[in-house]
Structure 1
């Protein structure tokens, strides 16, 4: 197969940006598997004690991911993430001040294929979150499965990732002095199955658990929409009722996420096939907070009421910024 190489005159900084994005893709798709192989492989070498010592530490530290994790600011500020940000580029847009004495749930939309916008804005410090929202600490919720992988769990925690489990979110939101932000990708893995350029469909209509959680802890809800999230990859979409769609849903039910068949550009050239995302602008707009009262046992009617308020605010946010970030005036969000 013929490989189209990038022109030699391509600036070095652009090559470095592509390399930074490629390592992120590798971390997302293959690093966990490599960590498992390393952990098991060491057991059959003279360095077997490394795995044994780590297993001891792992057991002692097993609850940390569910208690706010353990992020390291110097890793979130690595120069590498500046190159990652500038490749697309990724921008964070603030629309309102947030009180650092409160806790918040950010509802992130859409999921996209690899959630590049959520990672760039909330797992690194290169798009200005700390400066825009002083006193707030973001935690992106991720599938609990990944926190059971040796070594990998420590890597993802360093960026502020925590398990998308009820007890994990509760730990963040019960902080009396405030300052925590639980970033939840509401559509989750099912929404990723339909992520493609131009897609404006959100799985949100029957997803109300985050609203109930907000009510139980009095955490304000903040709608977040990322323009460009669905544009960075092409995906083969399998129709409902097809064998492949059934296989994807089965995987999702068993392990929490579904394998998707997606395509980006090549590492050496934007004209060849590969797994590097296309360089499309990603603009994450953080909306205004919805004040939520604390109701320890909210009724279904109360949950429905605040859920409708959230959906209304999200659609309003999208409509306000859609033409500024590449959507037509006629574009409409579909909530299913």
Structure 2
């Protein structure tokens, strides 16, 4: 394939994902509601009936489709940056795992590529282990889009959904949670190495309740994919972001990427900068159905220590300076 053609193919593969993320749910909601008032009313009626019957599927492990996870377009998506997955230690299919993904970035691009597709070869690197990427629960209420993202192996980041996978589906389940969430996305800027983690302990409690090992994951370069407008703490933009973060679960960001075609200085596509995601060493966690606060604190501290050690071990090989350090907020 000609280099210029290949470049466009890679750009389009990423752009379709960005537009799907931003618009697919809203688009199909509007289309189905519109069809209700046309001669094609039977289509939305049948779908909404199915939706009612199928409402609990996302919290019962979803509906993974390996064919979708192995689409060729995801390989083009991977190569655009490129994104690389690195194993620091093997994961046994005889255990379950709760993995924290850091940092969030704007769209958690690397988490999607590594754990909701097979573009970077997760199943080959970790044979017998099934990855489940936990995302905002609200997106599973959007018609059509919910079915699409379920096919990639995503689940709602809710207590019921996570408990089901870790307690009712045997072993070999790896649940990936972007721990920092909306708060961490507001800190996303090129060259920034900070994670929102000090008061995020629910995932540790979840691991203890189910005897699932904790594993830190750090994606070097995730924060470099977009340039974000940072508001001052007393501005209307900052207050609006905090309002959305508190009541909706995500924070609207003003960001700048690159154009899909041409030489425009801005666009919706992320910058084509390399990202290396390192899956760290598992921290063995005992099964404590009702963990005490001291146990949660103990394993939370061990997790932070493991994340910092992972960052320090791989930072130079991933293009950072030896003097760079990870800030835990």
Q: What TM-score bracket applies, with the shorter chain setting the length?
A: over 0.9
Aligned positions of 1:237-276 closer than 5 A: 237-276=230-269
Q: Does 2:49 correspond to 1:50?
A: no
- Root-mean-square deviation (CA, aligned residues, Å) is 1.1
Question: 1:275, 1:84 → 2: CA distance?
Answer: 15
Pick from 322, 328, 332: which aligns with 2:325?
A: 332
Count, aligned residues: 328
Q: Which residue of 2 aligns with 1:3?
A: none
The structural deviation recorded for 1:10 is: 5.2
Q: Does 1:184 align with 2:180?
A: no
Conservation of the 8 A alpha-carbon contact between 1:103 and 1:175: no
Runs of 5+ unmatched residues, structure 2: none
Task: Report the TM-score, using the length of structure 2 for normalisation.
Answer: 0.98
Between 324-333 and 266-275, the greater mean CA deviation after superposition: 266-275
Partners of 1:31 and 1:196 in 2: CA distance: 26
Question: How far apart are residue 176 of structure 1 and its match?
Answer: 6.0
Match of 2:144 in 1: 151
1:296 matched residue in structure 2: 289
Task: Tell whether 2:82 aligns with 1:86.
Answer: no
Q: Distance in 1 between matches of 2:234 and 2:308?
A: 30
- Cα distance, 1:29 vs. partner? 1.0
Secondary structure in 1 aligned to 2:174?
A: strand
CA separation in 2, counterparts of 1:290 and 1:269? 47
Could you tell me whether the CA contact under 8 Å between 1:139 and 1:182 is conserved in 2?
Answer: yes
Find the counterpart in structure 1 of residue 99 from structure 2.
106
Q: How does 1:152-167 map to 2 (within 5 A)?
A: 152-167=145-160
Indicate which of 6, 15, 20 corresponds to 1:22: 15
Q: CA deviation at 1:269?
A: 2.8
Matching residue within 65, 72, 85 for 2:65: 72
CA shift at 1:47, angstroms? 1.1
- 1:326 Cα deviation (Å)? 1.4
Q: Which runs of 5+ in 1 are unaligned?
A: 1-8
- 1:124-172 CA distance string (max 9 Å, x none): 0110100011111111111111000111100110111110100000011
Residue 46 of structure 1, CA deviation: 1.3
Deviations 1:270-316 (A, max 9, x none): 54210011000011000000000000111111100000000000000
Q: The residue matched to 1:238 in structure 2 has which SS? A: coil
C-alpha separation in 2, matches of 1:14 and 1:155: 26
Per the alignment, residue 222 of structure 1 pairs with 215
- TM-score w.r.t. length of structure 1: 0.96
Structure 1 consecutive aligned stretches of length 4 or more whose deviation exceeds 6 Å = none
| Aligned-partner Cα distance in 2 for 1:179–1:123 | 16
Q: Hey, what does 1:136 align to over in structure 2?
A: 129
